[in-house]
Amino acid sequence: MTDQKTSGSCCGSGGSCSSGTTSDVQGIGVTTVYKVSGMTCGHCEGAVSQEISALDGVSAVTAVAKSGEVTVTSAAPLDEQAVRAAVDEAGYVLVGQV
């Protein structure tokens, strides 16, 4: 695996990031939006989605490279350190919740 953190992404170009916090409870679980830095393309989105999808309780993940946002639906609120570790494993940096 290449060290994507040093180059900013798998594509070698950097991204921008910001933070904030919102998470809302929906009828089938909890939906939380995270900010992830370094995603620039569909491959980046897939790598982040795959790692977060492997976390217990996660039912859906949508990553959008353009905004750097990853929307996660889970049965219960996720431990942010677990999400951070999954994003790190994919080669990116979790900034925090939006």
Mean pLDDT taken over the chain: 82
Backbone angles phi, psi at 85, to 5 degrees: -65, -40
3-state helix, strand, coil in the chain (%, to 5): 30, 30, 40
Give the mean pLDDT of 31-42.
Answer: 98
Tokens of 40: 């620039």
pTM metric for this prediction: 0.75
Domain ranges of the chain: 12-97
Q: Quick: pLDDT tens for 50-71.
A: 999 999 999 999 999 999 999 9
pLDDT of 37 higher than 70: yes
Query: Out of 3.40.50.1370, 3.20.20.10, 3.30.70.100, 3.40.50.1820, which CATH number does the structure's domain 12-97 have?
Result: 3.30.70.100
Q: Are 58 and 50 in contact (CB under 8 A)?
A: no
Q: CA torsion angle for 39, 51, 92, 73 (degrees, to 10)?
A: 70
